[in-house]
């Protein structure tokens, strides 16, 4: 049952393939730090591979044929891609499903304020985070501002070397005696995760000063002069007024590019690898796949970190509705055919697993832990404690998966998230399983999961992509 470190078996050619994949993956991470950016990058790659919008297919009244490649987008935050197979789709699809949202800090709708001539953005954290990990690190702002006239402006500040970065401050060690007595979950309070963005007061030009002489406006500028300076910058660069924050989606994420990690460059260090490491490898596997008997699908969704809720989460009808439209364009739609298609499908719920960390070994059970360098991880079940919230995959499906991976020479391992009563977590697997389809969790082992910087093994990334490709081809 012991799995060998797969690095020992690689040829020179495989190592070159691995490094190329890791390089492309780092670029994907840099281009997709938010769910919107991930969708944009996914569509860029899909179009280059010959995929067409399903919306365009509908407008043209086109009949889809085997070999056609189409995609559908939901609110720029979720995307589903399909490679039409030669068999009737009611016989089922091969589905790779992953999520493209990651823990972060979102701006509140009234975020901008000044206090003692320092200006901050008020935030609300998203997903499961250790709040103390987000202080005193370089941060960037990504997102969109939607204005009343319908225009949408994209924002990205903090990634270009010429950009400023932002920061959440922490109490200096010299005065932190009381703070250090607190439990880790409250040593930094959620309401204190406010981002420092300015300290320079706006000084009006002389003619402006004369025009404001004796006015209430002058008093206001003097009172919140630093905030006024920030608003002036936002107006000049983005045409943005303070009220435009009401209809903005701005996310605070760690600044900086994905990097090789380790003296041997065997790992990738970056923000957002949960779950973009599985999203990217799933996408890459689909884009290289040729027409199969069954229709192949890659679905990348939002909101997994908060329960897969909302219109762009896996619990929405986006995926089901898209499959219905797809079947209609193939001349194969009926309600019964749709139900058969979903029930007969097989899916890999592509999500990350916790890598064994010897520094925190007490949180794991060694025989059933995931390890760096031992390949794609399968979790027969996730959930918490008594498997609560899990999809417990059938033994028969697990047997089929083993056969597929072995025949394709894919290195894989099986694992649980950690010790039974240490905690737990879930994925989108149980949602898709509601249709009656076979689903199992599979993904890449991650160190520092949900931290601003996560670490993965290049070998596991390589094996994941190979495994996903084998699943689609089988």
Residue 209: the pLDDT is 55
How large is the average pLDDT for residues 132-154? 97
- So what's the pLDDT on residue 381? 87
Does the pLDDT value for residue 282 go beyond 60? yes
CA 441 centroid distance within chain: 16
Does 72 score more than 80 pLDDT? yes
What was the pLDDT predicted at 409?
97
Q: What angle do CA 393, 410, 446 make, to 5 degrees?
A: 70
Do 139 and 255 contact (CB within 8 A), yes or no? yes
The 10 Å Cβ neighbour count of residue 38 is: 30
Three-point CA angle 146, 160, 462, nearest 5°: 95
Identify the helix (H) or strand (E) that includes residue 441. Answer: strand 438-443
pLDDT digits over 151-172, tens only? 999 999 999 999 999 999 999 9
CA 347 to chain CA centroid, nearest Å? 19
Averaged pLDDT for residues 110-138: 97
pLDDT for res 329? 97
Phi, psi of 64 (to 5 degrees): -75, 140
Q: Say yes or no to pLDDT of 221 above 80.
A: no
310-360 pLDDT tens trace = 999 999 999 999 999 999 999 999 999 999 999 999 999 999 999 999 999
Work out the average pLDDT over 67-73. 98
What value does the mean pLDDT take over residues 105-122? 97
Q: Would you place residue 110 in the very low, low, confident or very high pLDDT band (cuts 50, 70, 90)?
A: very high
| pLDDT tens readout for residues 185-200 | 999 999 999 999 999 9
Report residue 423's pLDDT band, with 50, 70 and 90 as the boundaries. Answer: confident
pLDDT of 7-63, one tens digit each? 999 999 999 999 999 999 999 999 999 999 999 999 999 999 999 999 999 999 999
Instruction: Give the whole-angstrom CA distance, residue 105 versus residue 317.
Output: 27
Q: Kind and range of the H or E element at 251?
A: strand 248-254
Please state, in angstroms and rounded to a whole number, the distance separating the CA atoms of residues 205 and 191: 36
Domains and CATH numbers, the chain: 6-102+271-473 (3.40.630.10), 104-254 (2.30.250.10)
């Amino acid at each position: 049952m012991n799995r060998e470190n797969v690095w020992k078996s690689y040829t020179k050619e495989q190592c070159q393939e691995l490094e190329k994949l890791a390089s492309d993956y780092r670029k994907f991470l840099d281009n997709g730090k938010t769910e919107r950016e991930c969708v944009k990058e996914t569509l860029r790659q899909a179009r280059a591979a010959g995929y067409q919008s399903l919306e365009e297919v509908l407008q043209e009244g086109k009949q889809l044929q085997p070999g056609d490649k189409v995609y559908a987008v939901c609110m720029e935050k979720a995307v589903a891609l399909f490679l039409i197979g030669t068999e009737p789709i009611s016989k089922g699809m091969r589905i790779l499903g992953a999520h493209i949202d990651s823990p972060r800090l979102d701006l509140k709708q009234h975020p901008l304020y000044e206090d003692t001539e320092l200006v901050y953005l008020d935030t609300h954290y998203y997903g499961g985070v250790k709040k103390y990990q987000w202080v005193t690190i370089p941060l960037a702002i990504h997102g969109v501002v939607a204005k009343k006239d319908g225009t949408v402006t994209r924002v990205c500040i903090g990634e270009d070397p010429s950009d400023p970065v932002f920061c959440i401050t922490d109490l200096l060690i010299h005065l932190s005696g009381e703070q250090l007595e607190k439990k880790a979950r409250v040593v930094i309070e959620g309401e204190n995760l406010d981002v420092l963005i300015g300290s320079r007061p706006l000084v009006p030009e002389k003619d402006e000063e004369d025009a404001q002489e004796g006015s209430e406006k002058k008093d206001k500028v003097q009172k919140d002069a630093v905030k006024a300076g920030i608003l002036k910058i936002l107006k000049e660069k983005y045409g943005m007024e303070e009220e435009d924050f009401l209809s903005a989606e701005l996310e605070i994420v760690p600044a900086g590019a994905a990097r090789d990690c380790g003296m041997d460059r065997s790992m990738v260090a970056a923000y957002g690898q949960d779950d973009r490491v599985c999203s990217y490898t799933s996408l890459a596997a689909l884009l290289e796949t040729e027409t199969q008997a069954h229709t192949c699908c890659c679905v990348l969704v939002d909101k997994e970190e908060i329960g897969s809720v909302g219109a762009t989460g896996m619990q929405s009808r986006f995926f089901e509705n898209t499959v219905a439209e797809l079947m209609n364009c193939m001349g194969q739609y009926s309600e019964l055919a749709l139900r058969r298609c979903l029930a007969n499908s097989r899916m890999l719920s592509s999500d990350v697993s916790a890598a064994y960390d010897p520094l925190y070994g007490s949180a794991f059970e060694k025989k059933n832990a995931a390890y760096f360098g031992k390949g794609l991880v399968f979790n027969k079940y996730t959930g918490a404690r008594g498997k609560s919230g899990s999809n417990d995959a059938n033994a028969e499906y697990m047997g089929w998966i083993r056969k597929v991976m072995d025949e394709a020479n894919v290195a894989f391992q099986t694992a649980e998230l950690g010790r039974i009563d240490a905690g737990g977590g879930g994925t989108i697997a149980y949602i898709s399983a509601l249709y009656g389809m076979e689903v199992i969790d599979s993904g890449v082992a991650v160190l520092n999961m949900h931290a601003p910087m996560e670490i993965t093994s290049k070998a596991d990334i390589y094996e994941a992509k190979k495994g996903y490709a084998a699943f689609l081809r089988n």
